[in-house]
Structure 1
Amino acid sequence: MPSHSLPAFDPRKVPLLPRAPNEMPAHAQRLTADGLRDLFIRPPIWSPELLREKRFADRAPAQAAVLLPIVLRERLTLLLTLRSAHLSTHSGQIALPGGKLDAGDADATAAALRETHEEIGLPPDRVEVLGSLPVYVTGTSYTVTPVVGLVHPEFELVPNADEVDDVFEVPLDFLMDPANHHRHVHEFQGTVREWYSMPYDDSGRERFIWGATAGMLRNFYRLLSA
């Protein structure tokens, strides 16, 4: 990721906090298509870890939705995007596809599917929606509903070059293993902030997943490990 696309500080260099002890990876059965389907039909008792970031943007609140597109490969993967560097918020960062709700959207699920189609060309009929996670409020005042869906393979993506620089996949079991979750602490604009990152080596290219995306994935891990 080029340096000009990063925020005022480089999140890769921010100090780490100690790991939480005795955290186990997500249950192996839940890292399968049938396990995920059953999870949303009969969810366990669980609590999300992260619900709201400290606000750092002076803008009006907005409703948004993102899709957690889990691709049905032999080893399940999660589809992620690299946002274009010129975007007004979260530019140059790795993200889940999605965006703001429009007046014509029936609900958050409809918005997530529409925005994903507009961003990367994934047809809604290739997505089997399982359910949603608790809303997550970003520091930029977006109230985001994360929608979880299984993506049937043999799709052809057409990324919108105005919004997306790249689309790639990360194994779901990597993201749902707390050994790959790093906690950071940093003082920024007079406020101490903490966040997670999940750096992934994609054939020699570092994919630095952090901030709101990592926060929502951390909540997903909490559900899968409950």
Structure 2
Amino acid sequence: MSALPETLDRFNLMLAESVPKIASRLQLGLTHIEIERQVVSFTWTLPQDAFLLYQWHNGLSGKPGKLNLGEKLLRLKGKWHGELTGRENEVRTILENRLIMTKFLPLEYSLAGHRHLKLGRCQIDLLPIFILMEGKKTIYCMMRLEPNNPIIYCANGTKLPPMKVTESFLSTQPQFSRLSNFIAFLTAVFQQGIQSVTPSKGRCISGIDCELESTELEKLYQQYKS
């Protein structure tokens, strides 16, 4: 039996108690039938973990950010997730004075990301679920679309063409053996990071949700990666 439902419930409870503003921006989950309708045209089988995730919540807000036309064009150019910008679509973390913005993608955007990879001749079936952005650096947290091996890769895709997302490349990137491990990792990050948010940094950068040191993050990663 999958440990994921219980792990998601714990994460949900922690968010509701500690950061209700994030919990309130999570979209309602999709039904099994709604998910099947979105993936029916693909040749691969969606792993059960992905079904459970999107039945839990269908990403953050999912509504395009409030941008003017020029900003929209800049963000949409070459970026399949570009319109998902704005406070309602992001979780903001301070990692040693660096601002990291995280998106939890609704399923339709995840599938758009998969199509982007395939159009760019990526030979591996991957489903982007979370995106972390720090300045010009972008990390894609992607599920391997293999029912019996749905590894989560957190891959640095900055200026990396999809065709170069290879087995060799992925083997060098941080990864979690199951989605439940990744969600448990996020739960621990929030539990530790929320307690560390200081008023001074909150004043410098609006709306900080979480704050961590690199050593703490690495320690948690080593604990939950497998």
TM-score, length-scaled by structure 2? 0.31
RCO higher in structure (CA 8 A, sep ≥6): 1
**Larger proportion of helix:** 2
**Larger proportion of strand:** 1
TM-score, length-scaled by structure 1? 0.31
